[in-house]
Amino acid sequence: MMDVRVAERQTDLEILRYNPEIAGEPKLERYTVPTKTEWCVLDALNYLKDNVDPTLTYRWSCHMQVCGSCGMMINGEPKLACKAMLRDYPGVIRIEPLAHFPVERDLVAVADDFLAKLKRVKPYLIPLEKRLPEDGEYRQTPAQLKRYRQFAMCINCMLCYAACPEYGLHPKFIGPAAISLAHRYNRDSRDGGRDERQEEIATAEGVWECTFVGACSEVCPKHVDPAAALQQVKVASTVDWYLEHFMSWVQK
């Protein structure tokens, strides 16, 4: 337990608490904890859980902005708690679970809908050609890697879903992260599964539900730029449509 005398500041945390086993609506509770300037919000939460209230529930794992599990609303903005530095929040810090998702308990959002949509878009390589181990690895040039590398940086933190007004209004929308990952594999020179993915993402519930607000890219902690991925999918889908109908007209 930290000696309060060596703490550099007292930080006020206003945290949404919800326990489904206890009747009642979610409510905000305020805590004051001793903290250090170099701490992030996750450090303050860990201190609170270890020393003040062990019943507080939230997700975290790596503390390195890699696992994506500590996503939550911090002063109304989707953030990774391990990336949100206390020095950037001079007043009371309000912490809530990610917006647009059901709440399991306290700061834990239910990820089932996102995971189901991720499964639908087949975010994995579907080999363009079958190879045996003795045939060697699939080779790729640096230029081919560059075509999709940015979109491969997604850590499935779901911050983009919490920021997306379309997902909030239309929960059937497949959403930015899932479509971005589908696009990542569609652009991979080793992949042959584009037609299967397009059946999911080039639809009204897919990319055409996006109104290009751009909030998803603003909150992305890995600079994936899902808004750009969605617009690229729209362009590619439009080209598909024109080619299909043009070829039908030519054949007539």
pLDDT at 192: 96
Query: Domains, the chain, ranges and CATH?
Result: 4-109 (3.10.20.30), 112-251 (1.10.1060.10)
252 to 217, 238, 242: CA distances (angstroms): 44, 21, 15
Structure tokens at 93: 């810090």
Cβ–Cβ < 8 Å for 217, 150:
no
Cβ–Cβ < 8 Å for 220, 226:
yes
pLDDT at 248: 65
pLDDT at 151: 97
pLDDT tens for the chain, residues 1 to 252? 555 555 788 999 999 999 998 878 899 999 999 999 999 999 999 999 999 999 999 999 999 999 999 999 999 999 999 999 999 999 999 999 999 999 999 999 999 999 999 999 999 999 988 888 899 888 999 999 999 999 999 999 999 999 999 999 999 999 999 999 999 999 999 999 999 999 999 999 999 999 999 999 999 999 999 999 999 999 999 999 888 877 666 666
Cα 252 off chain centre by:
46
For residues 108, 112, 114, 117, the Cα torsion angle rounded to the nearest 10 degrees is: 180
CA angle 7, 86, 14 (to 5 degrees): 95
pLDDT at 31: 98
pLDDT at 6: 58
3-class DSSP string for 99-114: CCCCEEECCEECCHHH
Cβ–Cβ < 8 Å for 111, 69:
no
What pTM was computed for the model?
Answer: 0.92
175 to 103, 200, 203, 232: CA distances (angstroms): 19, 11, 12, 15
DSSP classification of residue 83: T
Where does residue 21 rank: exposed (0-12), middle (13-18), buried (19+ CB within 10 A)?
exposed
pLDDT at 23: 72
